[in-house]
Every structure is written in C-alpha cells, then in structure tokens.
Structure 1
C-alpha cells in the first residue's frame, strides 16, 4: 500500500542515476455520510474504491491515463513514468464504494508539492463518495445542499498492463456514530498504549499489524517488514526509532479521540515526508510535534484511559 509519498525515495534515486523522471499522485477517498461535500467526523475512509486520473488529450478532451484502487486506509498512489505534463489533470472516483452508495463527488485538481531531478510529486484534496440520502444522525441543514455535479469521464485509454499490488487485510470499519471516549478530548503517551490493562483501546488497529502495511513501503524499507505496531513503540535513543514510536502513538490517538490534532492519514503522510527528507533535524522535529500532541499539548489534554475489564 502507499499513503502520501511512500515511493518517492526510489523515484528520486532513479532520477539521480540518470533514468527518466517520474510523476506521482497521492490522495484519499472518504464516504461523505452527511452529503455536505466535505470530510467531517462523521465520515470514514473507503476501501477498494476505483479512482481515475484524466488529463487533457490532443483534442482537448479529457483522457483517462490511469486507474487504481484505494487501499485499506482509503489512500491511493498513481505513478507515471517519463515525467509527463500533469497540468490540467484531475482525479475522480470512478466506482461505487462498498457500504456508502453510488454517487461520486466532484473531481479534484492536482497540487504540486515537490519537484526535483525531473521528478514531480502531487497531492489531491480528499475525494468523496456519497449515499443516496444523508444518514439519520447527521446535523440537519436549513436548506438542502445542491447535488454535486459529476463530469462524465471517457472510457480508459488502452495502457500497458501493470502488476497488481498485493491484497492488504481490510481495516475494521470506523463506527458511523463515534462512542465515548472517541468524542472526548484524549491524548495518551506511548507507554500508556503498551500497558496490558489498556489493550482494549486498540480498537481499530491491531498491535500485531506490520509497520510496512500501515505506514507503507518506504517505512517498510526503513524499519523492516517484520516490525509490528506494538514493537515500534519500544524504540528509543535513535531519531528514526523515536519518530516511528511517536507516529504510531499519534495514529492510535487519532483513532481514539476526534479532538486529537492529527487525522490518521495526516500522521501517515507526515512520517513519510520526514523519511523522504533524509534530514535528522526534520526527523526530530516531526517526532517532537507528535510527542507534544501525544502529551496533550496544546490545551493540557489528559489521557482518558481506564483499566479494561
């Protein structure tokens, strides 16, 4: 899988070695349960959804140049060889999501975030898929929202076959109506998550999940493919191990409390940005930001854990 910029290190290495540059696009897809056109606390990432990339063709009409499927965290990554011109390209949901409905939200343009050695990296604002009607628990609006306009995409262009990525285990679906302490402000440091009496708070992510599966191939190459989330929380006395420990803790806190400063996908992306940068200072600064959030700063937020029964 890959979220954010998980394959950039290989791309940059190839560019330096004299190979043609590449372009890479990453983003995520959410179920917009309230049909308000934005990602809120009521929405959850969609697994197994198809996303298409359409770019202006020679005739000016959009042509689909790639299609991928979202991973178990709702993320997707597209890679295009030869550093093509991505100006005017747009990403859009092109398939119906399981358990969300059949209405796709509007397409999104690309945001250039990195350019070096003929290599370009783009991100896309979250794409959405919507149910036929808003869920009953959604806040009621005084006026109905306009139905999103979904531009029709042409049939996919014939592209050379690409190898299918390995099938990842499904992520337990987030509950549509968060329960306590999900709605409470809570931030717990790593040592609280490692205590046996707090095992029941690992509700979304299993302690035995591999770091490479959760944070992507770049993390797998850095930390190994056998390291689990539980094992990642024992790292210390090394900037990269400290980064992973605090990132894992922040990811768990983000699923445990809606008021935690970081969204789960944001945690994954920030860790990968730090690994891509290759700077010890950047690694330490990212780890420090996670550490402060995990310690309840700002706001002096405490850990709401109680002993599991």
Structure 2
C-alpha cells in the first residue's frame, strides 16, 4: 500500500502539472537482519533509507546520480524524472541506511514495466541494507569455530540429543497491551522503541489524527474513546507482529488495517479495534495463542 500510494501521488502531481512526459521509478528497501544477501522472513521494511538512481559508471567511469528519494514507513520509494528517459543501463542503490541497519548492499538494475503516451515506469527488485552483525536470533550453520572433542574413554553410550535452541520470533505469540506496558518486558521492544512516534510508525494518516508528538508508549494508554482504543490495540498488534512472524497479522497488514480504519467511519474503526483486540488476546483463529514473554534479565 505504501509503495502504491507514493506512486499514486507522483502520478497525480504529474497530471496536475500537465507534464508531457515523465519517467517513474519505484521499489522498496528491507533490512537484511541475517546478512544473507536475500530477503527472508526475518527482514523488515526499512524506514528512512536514502536511495539513488545512478547511470553510467562503467570500467573506470563515475556513475551519474539522476535522482534521490527517502523510503517511507513501509520501506517504499518512488521517484519522478521529467522527460522520457531510457534507464535500461541504470541502477538503484541504497546510499545510506539508518544507524541500526546502515551497511548498504549492492545496486540493482531497472525493469521497464510500461512505456506509453510519453510516460515510462520502471521497477527495481528489493534493495537491502544490513546491520553491522547478524541479529542474534538468525540461524547459524557455521560450526568451524567449535572446538573438537576428544574421543570417549569408555563405551560411547547413546545420549539423548539436546533440543534445538528456540528462536522467539518463530514462536507463535500474542500479548495484550497490558503486557507491553510492564517494565519487566521492555526488552521485547526491538524494531521500535516506546519513544517512537505514532506518526513514524503508522504514517501521515495517523499523524493527522493523533498529532506528530504522540509516542507509542502514550498510545498504549488510550481508552474510553473509539479512536484511542483503536490506537492502543493497533500499536499492540504492531508490536506483536514484530515479536512473532506467526502472529495473526503481518506488520504491513497491521499498518494497512489501521490506516483504512482511520479513513473510514467510526463504526469501522470500532470493528478494526475489536479485530486487533482479539488477535492480541490470541483468540484469532481455530486455536488460542499464548504470550511467550519471560522476564528480561
């Protein structure tokens, strides 16, 4: 939804300005948390990454930057260049990522989606930016650093294998807002912090409703009014989606539902709040899901 919205705004602006020809480029950036060079279930859309479209830069040459943009809260960027420009030999790359995921990955080429009436649209495969080190919950298959064990002195009796270490993000979990407010569970705030603003987490539609200064921590205390309840449960679902990939709503769908409810009627806002509440209590689906929190050390 975020990428489509950015592209729609560009198309609208081009139409309003009565531009005869435009070249559009759109794509998304993800944080490659496991540093495996490809998108996986552990990766999330990266907000605030600076992306550039560059052309040239062959052997011994310097690339020429045509345009730049910064990704929105869904990791999307969309750029417009006046005139019908051939970008077949150009590429997009991340110039700079946020501090927590700032190691930029390789550039990717353009794919022409259509060219008609003087207008061209190119898309780019997802770009990646990485943290300095793989995130702690990422699977590891390199055992070269493990010391070898001496041969047994006596009979090698078969012993039961230890269970594989659990990866919390792979466990099904749903926690109500009361749990997210408890200080002993603060370590579960990973992708966003209590001080992250609602506007940053959910985008401009939420900023218009709740203001640009309200934090996620403040929003979790909302009650007694439809849109405060919607925000409280929406934030809780967003946090649950970051905590477990098996939560009933993905991060993108939580943001999508939230924005649709803010644009719709109060009745729809209440229905969405109740849907979030059911999911946060683990009652969304054929089986109940519990909260996997343990007190932070």
* Residues 9-29 of structure 1: CA deviation (Å, up to 9, x unaligned): xx7xx99xxx66999967443
List alignment gaps of at least 5 residues for structure 1: 55-63, 111-121, 141-177
Instruction: Return the TM-score normalized by structure 1.
Output: 0.57
Which of 289, 293, 297 is the equivalent residue of 1:305?
293
Segments of 5+ residues of structure 2 without an aligned counterpart are 55-64, 114-120, 143-164
TM-score by length of structure 2 reads 0.59
Does structure 1 retain, via aligned residues, the 8 Å contact 2:184–2:296?
Answer: yes
Q: 1:235 is paired with a residue of what secondary structure?
A: coil
Choose from 143, 156, 173 the match for 1:186: 173
- In structure 1, the residue matched to 2:107 is 104
- Matched with 2:202 is 215
Going from structure 1 to structure 2, the CA distance change for 1:94 and 1:225 (only over 3 Å counts) comes to closer
State the number of aligned residues: 243
> CA–CA distance in 1 between the matches of 2:266 and 2:235?
19
Change (3 A) 1:30 1:200: closer
Q: Distance in 2 between the 1:40 and 1:209 partners?
A: 23
For residues 89-147 of structure 1, the C-alpha deviation after alignment (integer angstroms, 9 at most, x for no partner) is 9995464766555423464677xxxxxxxxxxx9x79713388xxx894679xxxxxxx
Q: 2:256 aligns with which of 244, 247, 269?
A: 269
Give the CA RMSD over aligned residues. 4.9
Aligned to 1:293: 279
The structure whose RCO (Cα within 8 Å, separation 6+) is larger is 1
Displacement of 1:68 in angstroms is 0.6
- Per-residue CA distance 1:29-73 (angstroms, 9 max, x = gap): 3438334x54422x344465444579xxxxxxxxx98531235x5
The separation in 2 between residues aligned to 1:50 and 1:258, in whole angstroms, is: 27
- Is 2:41 aligned against 1:40? yes
1:91·1:108 contact (CA, 8 Å) conserved in 2? no
Query: Does structure 2 conserve the Cα–Cα contact (< 8 Å) formed by 1:3 and 1:215?
Result: no
Counterpart of 2:238 in structure 1 is 251
Which structure has the greater CA radius of gyration? 2
